[in-house]
Amino acid sequence: MIDGVQLLADGGQHAERLPYTPYPWERFDLLAMPPSSPYGGMENPRLTFLTPTLLAGDRSLVNVVAHELAHSWTGNLVSNASAEHFWLNEGFTVFAERRIVAALDGEEVNALQVAIGRRDLDRDLEHFRDRPDLTRLRTHLAGIDPDEAFSRVPYEKGYLFLRTLEEAVGRARFSAALRRYIDAFRFQTLTSEDFVAWLARELPEAVAKVDVAAWIDGPGIPPGAPEPRSARLDAIALLDGSLPDEATARAWTPTEWMLYLESLPRPSSPATCAALDERFQLTASGNYEVLVAWLVVAAESGHAPSLPRIEEVLAAVGQMKYLKPLYSALAKAPPSRALARQCFARCRAGYHPIAQQVIDAVLKQHGA
């Protein structure tokens, strides 16, 4: 599975060596779930559930495996006390995931992953612009359905907070502190208050340099958050939405394709959509990250030849990460709004109840 044996051996060694302690669970097995699985992965001690869409055939989605592996420490060994402190689970896990990816594939590739994460975070910050309380790391969920409040904020803002602390004291000192953190809270739950108290004891110089309260209890992203930097990111930005030459595009990783497709105007011209698909066969991609990024552009641009493939994808997968943007793209455009309703009526029974609820809300939001 996606070079799984070697990946787990290498990734596990890096997880132990970089931020954390020796692997505490003896075994780490992977189970591919049915296509209706609504999430990319779900961590469980010794057995991680994964969506089958990760089997892209090009090892490009191994960061998800790295993420679930990292949960063996943060989430399974050290746990947040409640959903209001969810960032203690996911922020730490994203931090470890990216340390593993950087060790396996290099800092340039890791910077691309960070850029994707920041894009997703900015999108969710905009989504909650009228609910800034839901952009805090420590949330107050009394009377709020946690599914309604779910976003990339605890993942990506949590990651940026930890990177800010790391920059304040240096990688070596921060990594050593993380090992002490895992030891201190092993097989325990903790709150954000517990973390702040631990941080003041273990890294007082970080507290002196970083506005911890702004990160944990303030809305949005405080000034000075770390930004991803790489020559590959710069090259995509220089295209400014124009078509890449074939030699450049053929050398791109799937993550670079995703970032490029996200940068295209909405809607893009019929000529642009036709040229992209003709030159690079995006509609035929077997990598769902690239495929869905392309199909969203195509749907929002009224590119009719892509519609049959969108119907195929909506019938084949149940992962909300893919369903939500595709249904949104169809429902936003009046010509394809009826198709969104028809697809949901046809496919609904095959989706997880959580996914059904999410897509219901998406269609209502756009009047479909």
Residue 343 domain flag: yes
186 and 250 housed in the same domain: no
Residue 223 domain flag: no
Answer yes or no: is pLDDT of 227 > 90.
yes
Residue 55 domain flag: yes
120 and 240 housed in the same domain: no
155 and 57 housed in the same domain: yes
Over residues 253-282, mean pLDDT = 95
Answer yes or no: is pLDDT of 259 > 70.
yes
Model's pTM, two decimal places?
A: 0.90
Q: What is the rounded average pLDDT for all residues in the chain?
A: 92
Whole-number pLDDT of residue 298: 97
198 and 238 housed in the same domain: no
Angle at 126 (CA atoms; ends 161, 96), nearest 5 degrees: 30
Answer yes or no: is pLDDT of 54 > 90.
no
235 and 291 housed in the same domain: yes
| CB burial string 104-116: b at 16+ within 10 A, e below | bbeeebbbbbbbb
Q: Tell me the β-bridge partners of 31.
A: 49
**Is the pLDDT higher at 15 or at 181?**
181
Residue 236 in tokens: 């995509």
Over residues 178-197, mean pLDDT = 96
134 and 157 housed in the same domain: yes
At 138-158, the pLDDT tens digits run: 999 999 988 888 999 999 999
Residue 163 in tokens: 């990177």
Residue 211 domain flag: yes
Confidence of residue 17 (pLDDT cuts 50, 70, 90): low
Distance of alpha carbon 145 from alpha carbon 163, whole angstroms: 29
282 and 260 housed in the same domain: yes
122 and 268 housed in the same domain: no
Distance of alpha carbon 114 from alpha carbon 226, whole angstroms: 10
Q: How many domains does the chain have?
A: 2
154 and 235 housed in the same domain: no
Tell me which residue range forms the domain holding 342: 231-365
- What is the domain-level CATH number for residue 49? 1.10.390.10
**Is the pLDDT higher at 55 or at 27?**
27
240 and 206 housed in the same domain: no
Active site residues: 68, 155
Contact 326, 299 (CB under 8 A): yes
At 160-171, the pLDDT tens digits run: 999 999 999 999
Confidence of residue 9 (pLDDT cuts 50, 70, 90): very low
Whole-number pLDDT of residue 55: 76
- What is the domain-level CATH number for residue 355? 1.25.40.320
Of the candidates 217, 241, 259, which is a domain's last residue?
A: 217
69 and 210 housed in the same domain: yes
Closest C-alpha among 325, 312, 217, 188 to residue 266 = 325
160 and 275 housed in the same domain: no
What are phi and psi for residue 360, nearest 5 degrees? -55, -45
Residue 203 domain flag: yes
3-state secondary structure the chain: CCCHHHHHHHHHHHHHHCCCCCCCCCCCEEEECCCCCCCCEECCCCEEEECHHHCCCCCCCHHHHHHHHHCCCECCCEEECCHHHCHHHHHHHHHHHHHHHHHHHCHHHHHHHHHHHHHHHHHHHHHCCCCHHHHCCCCCCCCCCHHHHCCCHHHHHHHHHHHHHHHHHCHHHHHHHHHHHHHHCCCEEECHHHHHHHHHHHCHHHHHHCCHHHHHHCCCCCCCCCCCCCHHHHHHHHHCCCCCCHHHHHCCCHHHHHHHHHHCCCCCCHHHHHHHHHHHCHHHCCCHHHHHHHHHHHHHCCCHHHHHHHHHHHHHCCCHHHHHHHHHHHHHCHHHHHHHHHHHHHHHHHCCHHHHHHHHHHHHHCCC
Answer yes or no: is pLDDT of 2 > 50.
no
Contact 74, 15 (CB under 8 A): no
Residue 294 domain flag: yes
Ramachandran area for residue 201 (φ above 0: left; ψ -120 to 50: alpha; else beta): alpha
Residue 81 domain flag: yes
Whole-number pLDDT of residue 138: 97
